[in-house]
Amino acid sequence: MKHAGTQPSADTPLLRQYQRIKAQHPDHILFFRCGDFYEMFFEDAKVAARVLGIALTRRGTDANGEPVPLAGVPYHSVEPYLAKMIRAGYKVAICEQMENPRFAKGVVKREVVRVVTPGTVVEENLLENKANNYLVGLVLEGERWGLAALDFSTGEFSITQFEGPSASATCQAEIARLQPAEVVLLAEERAAIELALNWQASQAELGLGAETGEPTREGAAEVATRTPEDRPAIAALEGSMPLARARELLVRHFGVHDLSGFGAEDCAAGVRAAALALEYVRETQRAQVAHLTQLRVYQPGEFMMLDATTQRSLELVANLTDASRRHTLLEVLDHTATAMGGRMLRAWLLKPLRSPERICERLDAVGVFVGRGVVRAQTLEALRAVHDLERILSRAVLKTANARDLVALRASLQQVPKLRALLREVLTEATLLQRLYEEMDPLEDLVSELVAALVDNPPVSVREGGLVRDGFDPKLDELRAIAGDSKSWIAAMRQAEIERTGIPNLKIGYNKVFGYYIEVSNSHLDKVPPTYIRKQTLVNGERFITPELKEKEEIILHAEERIQELEFEIFERLREKVCQQARQIQRTAAAVATLDVLVALAQAAVSGDYCRPQITPHGPDAELRILDGRHPVLESLDLGQPFVPNDTVLDHRENQILLITGPNMAGKSTYIRQVALITLLAHVGSYVPAREARIPIVDRIFTRVGAMDQIARGQSTFLVEMSETANILNNATDESLVILDEIGRGTSTYDGLSIAWAVVEYLHNTKGRRPLTLFATHYHELTDLEGILPRVKNYNVAVVEEEDRVAFLYKIVRGATDRSYGIYAAQVAGLPRAAIRRAKEILQSLEEGSGVHVKPAGGRSRAGEETLQLTFFDVLEHPVVERLRAVDINRMTPIEALALLAQLVAEVKNSRGSS
């Protein structure tokens, strides 16, 4: 982020050094280490004071004699301040002291060691434990997209690419799934990418200055508050990234001959995206990135596609109320004991598998822990002692890990033998468990050294001593002994020298001028050995020094300092050994995380009384059958009454589209969502909340539920509804599952009913786009479609009427209903009694066809009331229906169908106007 104006010049050596380094990082806030503080000067100080809420002071003057603005934060607690800066849309350059100030000649040497950006943070307090923090590299080659997803905090690095007419939509869905903290792209491609992903905006919307075109601080902060799928932080790199250079960067980093070992040779756009992300982190971190050890290539078809709308509607990982994980599917399933497992579970929910073999492999493993309660409990207990191995390793590579991190690593690896022992009991019951057993490496040598070297409760700082155990390093033990009892050491040396020289009255003393010295009286000067160096002559004797004594003097005087330095050297060697084991630690971490998720899913299955679903390939005979299915989130809540389960049968022979009618509040939306959630859970490899479930493989789950506008994009509720419906009609296939709730309710009755009718016909009749569909509606006229379209079936939510009350049974039964009980729902919601009475009068008049008596304002009598005859759309007798029946929908294109619809709507409106 560039700041307007130039920094004032200054004459002091410190400020000159600051300005030289700042000039190399004009787009960043420079955290400049000065002793115990990170200090900021000039414009950076003003920005920091405002964003962080800290004092703005002055230090010295610039070349013009003006006071220099100053703000600072303590280095030992910098993370909360970093978090605020990042969330406000700024990038921070960390400038450290590169030498000990005690020994510096002149200004302490300083260098920027890393740049903290939203996509490259590794600090524990800046990250959510159970969610990934992705940096996405993105390139666009014509209609082909390349995408790289890098979680720098864990070392996860994967690539893919998208081609074909729906490539942009598929890429956008993948970005929505990843919810990246930051996207890096080439500056020359930025405009095209933002346009294709609907990220385009005016200068004002992007927070750009009207004159300079550069981001303003206020604009950047506003942009940073938007949701990740709408506008992640964007880093645009200058230059180009040709394929040859991209391959060279990756080959050199991974130390391989070519990329064929990763399966990346046929993923050219993905390779370019990966190189872009790698170059960005190397440029910003100024350090080796040895924890990036693997590059995984995945194909979009490996996973069920879930766009942003589906993720929101089904409340998979964030609810619709406050975007937290409360009352979400993730919350219900998350019995994980580790942060790594929590992240993996979240990833599994957003990337359901499409391979029946891989799904069943997971189900087999979950089933083992469902049936082995003791093993499940013991495994969970061991997992609770495992820390976040992935992020500890990342901090070690970046040299930000402290001794507590290594102790946590040690404690975690000590659980691996226990986990392997538990897996050994069930190896033969699931192939996935056998693989996890093999991938877990106890790393005994590393653990043994960490046990021998580090104390159990080290301090946070790694430069102030107290890290290393006694007995680990003889030199350190000697220094500690000296620092602990220098008088005893002096006494021991004096006695040793008396015995060696035969001088009985030899003394060892100290003064500030000469330091430590040996004093010999005149009577024994003839016994002084030649190794003594004369330093001072006295009346009664002479004083000497020796190389050994001066060495010991240095040790004594600087023992504490040397202790701190030596402990830090030992710690750095240990940290480097951890980095050398990066690949093994990552494999072990991934295996432990997978085990954690499997145990968590088993725990959820046992707690919720879930069943194992039967997974079948998709095809003409595929059937989705759920017996006594339940909504996993709602049934977990204490709603004061038991959850009512329901059955579902969908197939391509007779039950492709289920039209579900019934009252408000009776459970239609709950029912259609639970079918989607059960289907998704089965693809995750989880047991499902049902008595029995047979689930075919689906490629996508589409949802269109609820009412939502996007004012910032100029889209009304109805336009959002139509956009989401269009996405479904254009992209659903025979292998999709579609969930539709109240299509067409956002506009007039005629328009809405016509659209809903056309949508059902399109999904039923369009070859290649005949998904299994659940369609909840209040348009009772649609139920006539069962007699017209052979694969449409009517279902409704059962109710019982008792006098003036309605009892909802929450049971889905065969057949249609022609009542919505909306007035009853309004009564329950608290509408005034007078309004409810009046609504009942109007409803009765309409049902009797006698028209509505309009009451004058303030009047109670019927005298003077006007009768307003309201006519409603009679589907079976209206002339528009005759026009529609004469149309062969199978021979029409979507554009022709929409044109006909517009024509019919216009005719209806004209006929109403002329009458």
Distance CA 879, CA 861 (A): 39
Residue 202 token pair: 């005016």
Cβ(314)–Cβ(677) below 8 Å: yes
Residue 341 token pair: 């497992």
Cβ(416)–Cβ(588) below 8 Å: yes
DSSP 316: S
- Distance of CA 19 to CAs 7, 30, 284, 505, Å? 8, 10, 19, 62
Which of 606, 608, 658, 655 minimizes the C-alpha distance to 629? 608
pLDDT of residue 61: 73
263, amino acid identity: G
Query: Directed axis angle between helix 582-608 and helix 389-397, to 10°?
Result: 160
- Distance of CA 742 to CAs 48, 210, 345, 731, Å? 49, 44, 32, 20
**Mean pLDDT split into 10-residue runs, the chain, 915 residues:** 43 86 93 93 94 90 81 90 89 89 81 91 88 96 95 96 90 93 94 83 39 38 37 87 96 94 94 96 84 93 92 94 92 98 98 97 98 97 97 93 97 98 95 98 97 96 92 93 81 93 94 88 95 94 92 81 92 96 97 98 98 94 96 90 94 96 84 97 98 97 72 58 88 95 78 90 94 93 94 92 74 84 73 82 72 57 48 52 69 68 70 54
> Which stretches of 609-686 are assigned E, i.e. beta strand?
614-616, 623-629, 646-651, 657-661
pLDDT of residue 345: 98
> Which stretches of 281-412 are assigned E, i.e. beta strand?
296-297
Element (H, E) at 518: strand 515-521
- Helices of type H across 189-267: 190-196, 203-206, 217-224, 243-254
pLDDT of residue 13: 86
827, amino acid identity: Q
Distance CA 647, CA 694 (A): 12
Element (H, E) at 94: strand 92-97
Beta bridge partners of 62: 10
Q: Which residues make Cβ contacts (< 8 Å) with residue 444, sequence separation at least 6? A: none
Q: Which residues make Cβ contacts (< 8 Å) with residue 585, sequence separation at least 6? A: 389, 393, 409, 441, 443, 578
Cβ(303)–Cβ(351) below 8 Å: yes
Which of 319, 344, 342 minimizes the C-alpha distance to 329? 319
Sheet strands side by side (includes 67-74): 57-61, 67-74, 37-41, 29-34, 92-97, 110-116
Which of 445, 854, 782 minimizes the C-alpha distance to 796? 782
Distance CA 884, CA 788 (A): 13
Q: Which residues make Cβ contacts (< 8 Å) with residue 161, sequence separation at least 6? A: 144, 145, 146, 147, 267, 268, 269, 270, 273
pLDDT of residue 197: 86
Residue whose token pair is 């992007």: 206
Residue 600 token pair: 């968590």
pLDDT of residue 904: 74
| C-beta neighbour count of 730 within 10 angstroms | 12
By the 10 Å C-beta count (0-12 exposed, 13-18 middle, 19+ buried), 118 is classed as: buried
Distance CA 224, CA 233 (A): 7
Phi and psi, residue 514, nearest 5°: -100, -15
Question: What's the distance, Cα to Cα, between the start and end of the chain in Å?
Answer: 64
Phi and psi, residue 537, nearest 5°: -105, 130
DSSP 469: P
Kind of pairing between the strands at 296-297 and 156-162:
parallel
